[in-house]
Amino acid sequence: MKKFCVNCGVEESESTPIIKGLCPRCYIEIKGLVTRPRSVEIGYCRICGGVRVHGKWIYVQSLEELKDVIEDFFIELLKPSEEFTLEDIDVTFTPYEDSPAAINILGKLEEVKISHTVMVMVSWRASLCPLCKKIVGGSHSAVIQLRYVNADREIEDFVNSIAKEFEKWIKEVKPVKNGYDIQLLDASLTKRIVEAAKRKWRAVKVVESHGDVKRTSSGQRVSRLYVSIRILNFKAGDYIIISGIPYTVESFDGTWLVLRDGSGNISKVHFADLSRNLSKYRIGKR
């Protein structure tokens, strides 16, 4: 008597062996070829891109090397079922970005060659590897002091996009009064962040300064770069004080600020003239 699959009823044949009462297709569906976690977490170094797997740091020079490491990691993680012989896997994944990885499993289910794909969610956890920790000494070399007149959606989007784009080089994004202090591991990035702010808003005032001068163990003088980015995103109704006189903002088109004083007189100020004396301005809400 011919054996048949108890699930779909297909009869046994040379290409369709019945394994534990199931055809290969139903076996994969019901028993599965491998047991696997639904999700995994992989640590990585946000500076050099090294990965931490099974508690050990592995340094990679290229995406191919990273792929090898990730495949070795998954090979150790997957537990083949009794009847399945795992021969190889091929993992498709997005490096350093939380996303599902497609693991193509190759092997033999009894004598039948099988190729089957399973998905595992990969979360990447950024940190510093011991080598890079030594190099940066845990300290940051620049601080962006991002300030603005009005906290709005555009500001929020900007901070989020900066945090994402420069993730590897940001030590911390710290919310402070009227803004954010963004601590950067590399001072050269301040220019790119300033340019990004200027692309988004015309009315931006930038001031650079140096502080926290220290001597390194080799006797070199190092200082921290502070870059203040002030975004003048005035909105109608803002209440500002210029040289002691209070005004209400009538309108702002990104260049010209139209102000009304207490007697109802209207004046027009270019943002560049404003920013030169910005420290004299006190901006608040009525």
* Site residues (vs Zn ion, CB under 5 A): 5, 7-8, 23, 26, 45, 47-48, 50, 129, 132
For residues 9 and 211, which CB has a smaller minimum distance to Zn ion in the complex? 9
The least distance separating Zn ion from the CB of residue 60, rounded to whole angstroms, comes to: 10
Q: Across-strand partners of 103? A: 91, 118
Cβ closest to Zn ion, residue 63 vs residue 151: 63
Q: What's the closest the beta carbon of residue 9 comes to Zn ion, in angstroms?
A: 7
CA distance 194 to 187: 12
240 is written with which tokens?
Answer: 């500002």
Comparing CB distances to Zn ion, the nearer of 73 and 226 is 73
| Residue with Cβ nearer Zn ion (18 or 103) | 18
Look at residues 231, 235, 254 and name the one whose alpha carbon lies nearest to residue 180.
Answer: 231
User: Closest approach of Cβ 189 to Zn ion, in Å?
Assistant: 17
Contact 286, 248 (CB under 8 A): yes
What contacts 169, CB < 8 A, 6 or more positions away? 46, 47, 184, 185, 186, 189
In whole angstroms, the minimum distance from the beta carbon of 105 to Zn ion comes to 19
Distance CA 222, CA 212 (A): 8
Cross-strand pairs, 35: 79
Alpha carbon 31 to its chain centroid, in Å, reads 37
CB of 73 to Zn ion, least distance (A): 18
Beta carbons within 8 Å of 74's beta carbon, 6+ residues apart: 89, 91, 101, 103, 120
3-state secondary structure 148-160: ECCCCHHHHHHHH
Beta carbon nearer to Zn ion, 48 or 106: 48
Nearer to Zn ion, 16 or 251 (CB): 16
* Amino acid, res. 50: G
As measured in angstroms, the least distance from the Cβ of 205 to Zn ion is 36
